[in-house]
Amino acid sequence: MTLSIKNLSGGYFGRPVLKNVNFELADGELAAFVGLNGAGKTTTIKEIMGLLTPFSGEIRVNGVTLKENADAYRKAIGYIPESPSLYDELTLEEHIDLTALSYDIPSDIARARAQKLLQTFRLDDKLDWFPSTFSKGMKQKVMIICAFLTQPSLYIIDEPFMGLDPLAIHDLIDLMQEMRAEGASILMSTHILATAEQFADKFIVLKDGGVVADGNLAALQAQFGAGKSLDDIYMELARPTTGSTARS
């Protein structure tokens, strides 16, 4: 089991956002993580990444918690945030080198992996460019390249299609499917339900800080109505409730 979350509660400044969240992600499984803005998706991701400390509950990646083995825990995760975050003073090549250094990847292996990714996302002629010269879509591609360069056990991908052109979206989907076939697990937060429905193994729906559905499309249809699309099920589940205190 790549990712296991049990009885997770957490939030900001003592104010609870997540309420007893439970779900698992098996080896080689791609899960679409969906919910309205404010449902708690980003909070959950921050808890997994160690950017927030849970109020209670347990998060394990490859069987270990962050406290038990911080180095192994962090190196098992590749993260692509919704908004690209790059170092203004570093070139694309230096971002790749820094990523390899952070994950203890030998330089020759990192360069070989990076070359394929650079060609896939058409950035192989821009190694000496700085972030200030990149468009938003190009910055997102740099984040994708750096995350997939590490070849982790678990990919956390937050709204990956934002800012990408249709060709890059297709390339990213192919890449996710390739990594999944090799045994990596992917937790992908997205609002693009029609796309997620085509290739995700299961769907985790969050509402008001709690998981309200977790399963493949057939399981969700058995629960909420035969023949319903993911969009239909989502709209039924995600209607806001009065008094919600969750954040995105």
Q: DSSP string spanning 168-226?
A: HHHHHHHHHHHHHHTT-EEEEE-S-HHHHHHH-SEEEEEETTEEEEEE-HHHHHHHH-T
Average pLDDT, the chain: 92
101-108 contact pairs (CB < 8 A, 24+) = 103/75, 103/150, 104/75, 105/149, 105/150
Residue with the two structure tokens 């993580």: 33
Percent of the chain with pLDDT over 90: 79
Q: Are 248 and 37 in contact (CB under 8 A)?
A: yes
User: What is the tens place of the pLDDT at every residue in 96-107?
Assistant: 999 999 999 999
pLDDT tens track for 194-231? 889 999 999 999 999 999 999 999 999 988 888 888 88
241 confidence band (pLDDT: 50, 70, 90): low
Do residues 8 and 177 lie in contact, with contact meaning Cβ atoms separated by under 8 Å?
Answer: no
Domains and CATH numbers, the chain: 1-76+153-248 (3.40.50.300), 86-151 (no CATH)
- Helix/strand/coil for 47: helix
For the question of whether the overall pTM of this predicted structure is more than 0.85, the answer is yes
Q: Helix %, strand %, coil % for the chain, to 5?
A: 40, 25, 40
The closest of 83, 248, 231, 82 to 159, measured between CA atoms, is 82
Cβ–Cβ under 8 Å, residues 29 and 80: no
Helix intervals (H) in the chain: 41-49, 70-75, 92-102, 107-120, 136-149, 166-181, 193-199, 217-224, 230-237
How does 117-145 read in b/e, with b if 16+ C-beta sit within 10 Å?
Answer: bbebbebeebeeebbeebeeebbbbbbbb
Which of 3, 15, 22 shows the shortest CA–CA distance to 188? 3
**What's the count of helices (H) and strands (E) in the chain, helices before strands?**
9, 9
φ/ψ of residue 58, rounded to 5: -140, 140
Cβ distance 175 to 149 under 8 Å? no
**247 pLDDT higher than 60:** no
Query: Can you tell me the mean pLDDT for 13-35?
Result: 94
